């Protein structure tokens, strides 16, 4: 009985190959290449050398520009571990989130999509006003770049800003003796 089943299965598969042809081999790169992580995150690339014509408009598109990128802080310092306090003159806090405001100029008043690239942390929110969460990043200097797309790609001016993440100089408080 099992032999008869296997023979029927084999003949069915042979008929399918005869009717539809053998499957084409898939290259390893096309399957695995898309799964490999990208070493850096970049803004989407556009072919800005060609004029963009968006239906139903017949005029050439003028790309929008990011004219300003404002951070509410240029330096942050993490809070002290439990049982410690900042050294005198040092300000530290748990607030590792920076408010980001983007200003855009588009002569055609198109609806735009905002794109942000950061070298550390993550962007929370979308649109012109977002938060840059730096929780958990190591002390150092980090950048944010903003660009906008009006449907024809990010072809206009972008803006980049930098923030310094400092470690907090913490000490164990000394209790006064009586």
Q: For residue 72, what is the domain's CATH number?
A: 2.60.40.10
* Counted domains in the chain: 1
Task: Tell whether 42 is covered by a domain.
Answer: no
Q: What is the pLDDT, as a whole number, of residue 175? A: 76
Could you tell me if residue 86 is inside a domain? yes
Write out the residue range of the structural domain in which residue 151 sits: 63-171
Check residue 128 and give its pLDDT: 96
Q: Which pLDDT score, from 0 to 100, does residue 83 have?
A: 86
The DSSP secondary structure of the chain, one letter per residue, reads -HHHHHHHHHHHHHHHHHHH-PPPPPPHHHHHTTTSPPSS--PPP--TTSPP--TT--SPP---EEEEEEES-SEEEPPPPTT-EEPTT----S--EEEEEEEEE-TT----EEEEEESSSEEES-SSEEEEE-TTPPSEEEEEEEEEESSS-S-S--EEEEEEEE---EEPPPPPP-
- The pTM assigned to this predicted structure is 0.65
| pLDDT given for residue 41 in this prediction | 44
- pLDDT mean by block of 10 residues, the chain; 178 residues: 65 57 41 34 58 56 92 88 83 85 93 95 96 91 95 90 90 79
């Amino acid at each position: 009985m099992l032999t008869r089943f296997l023979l029927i299965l084999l003949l069915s598969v042979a008929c399918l190959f005869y009717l539809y042809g053998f499957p084409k081999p898939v290259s390893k790169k096309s399957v695995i290449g898309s799964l490999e992580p990208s070493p850096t995150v970049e803004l989407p690339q556009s072919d800005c050398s060609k004029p963009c014509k968006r239906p139903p408009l017949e005029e050439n598109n003028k790309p929008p520009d990011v004219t300003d990128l404002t951070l509410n802080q240029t330096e942050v310092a993490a809070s002290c571990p439990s049982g410690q306090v900042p050294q005198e003159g040092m300000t530290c806090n748990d607030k590792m989130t920076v408010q980001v405001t983007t200003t855009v100029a588009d002569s055609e008043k198109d609806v735009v999509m905002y794109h942000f690239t950061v070298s550390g942390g993550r962007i929370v929110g979308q649109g012109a006003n977002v938060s840059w969460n730096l929780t958990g990043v190591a002390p150092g200097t980090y950048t944010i770049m903003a660009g906008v797309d009006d449907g024809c790609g990010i072809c206009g001016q972008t803006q980049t800003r930098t923030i310094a993440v400092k470690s907090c100089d913490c000490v164990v408080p000394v209790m006064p003796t009586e």
